[in-house]
Amino acid sequence: MVKQAGAKKPERYELGRVQDRVTFLYLEHAKLNRQNSAIQVVDQRGIVDVPAAILSVLMLGPGVDVTHRAMELIGESGLGVVWVGEHGVRQYAYGRALNHSSALLEAQARLVSNQHSRLAVAREMYQMRFPHDDVSQLTMQQLRGKEGARVRRVYLEQSERTGVAWSHREYNPDNFEEGTPINKALTAAHQALYGLSYSVISALGASAGLGFVHTGHDLSFVYDFADLYKAEFSIPVAFSVTAKVGNDPDIGTKTRLAMRDAFTDGKLLVRMVKDLKALLGLTQADEVADTISLWDDRLGLQKFGVQYHELQEDDTK
């Protein structure tokens, strides 16, 4: 019997559902390795083993080294990874989707490729932000104007609530430190929300790049999806943290910790999974995993793994 190289790949039933996982874990100045089915984190304080199947996304800050075996486990577990660099510069990566069905991706591609269905989904995303108004007949231009006014109002309301002065949003990806405390907190809060959104989208098998409102970027749908929750999560958290810590040089870390608590208290993962499926029109019956078929323009879906050339030879006899 040939010995299998590497660790045994986990079965699907061994992996936690996305909506039941811990939202995210931020690490910096540490070495990540694999210990059985756990990510082993080693830093100057000691060693901690973190079960990969309970995490949704890892946020890796400066000074993190990751071994090949750790990345192997991350990929097998469908665990999202957000590389968080200095000065607010982020790079994104992710493992294989937990949902091995392509149903969600196919639904997304179908909806975004038709102008009428794309507009319908975009309106639905705006409708979620205006539950008391009917936006079904508004144009995209009108929706953008309505949303812009809403966001400005949210910023002013949070400024009045916390006493944090507010003028306008500033974000320089090349110089995080030059921003005001509230702008630095907003950047950290939004990035945590983007990371969680990215992880859910990828884990369920959808595309981060096929956006309905945003377009032309490999993270267009991440920005679409995260915008649904900013007014409830990242903006209030950023203002609250700034009011509490002021010009603290560690405001980014403290904001991320506050976002993690807000995600947990608000059960955001559960909501995100439900909202994403609803937006793309996926029902429970559509979620069929680990099934591969061959497409045929006349015969419909055909079985995978059949030696069709042998069948054709039999037909000629």
- Are 70 and 35 in contact, with CB atoms under 8 Å apart? no
In the chain, which ranges are continuous DSSP H helix?
68-76, 103-112, 115-129, 140-162, 181-203, 220-226, 234-245, 251-265, 268-279, 308-315
Distance of alpha carbon 107 from the chain centroid: 18
- CA pseudo-torsion sign 172, 177, 183, 189: positive
**What does the alpha-carbon distance between residue 101 and residue 290 come to, in Å, rounded to a whole number?**
6
**What does the alpha-carbon distance between residue 66 and residue 201 come to, in Å, rounded to a whole number?**
24
Q: Are strands 302-303 and 293-294 parallel, antiparallel or unpaired?
A: antiparallel
Does 133 belong to an annotated binding site? Answer: no
Does 190 belong to an annotated binding site? Answer: no
- CA pseudo-torsion sign 17, 22, 26, 32: negative
Rounded to the nearest 10°, the torsion over CA 12, 14, 18, 22 is -160
- CA pseudo-torsion sign 205, 208, 213, 216: negative
- Tell me which residue of 30, 86, 82 sits closest to 260, measured CA to CA: 82
**What does the alpha-carbon distance between residue 277 and residue 271 come to, in Å, rounded to a whole number?**
10
Does 309 belong to an annotated binding site? Answer: no
Helix then strand then coil, in percent of the chain rounded to 5, is: 50, 15, 35
**What does the alpha-carbon distance between residue 142 and residue 139 come to, in Å, rounded to a whole number?**
5
Q: Which residue ranges are tagged as binding site?
A: 147, 214, 227
Q: Which residue ranges are tagged as binding site for Mn(2+)?
A: 147, 214, 227
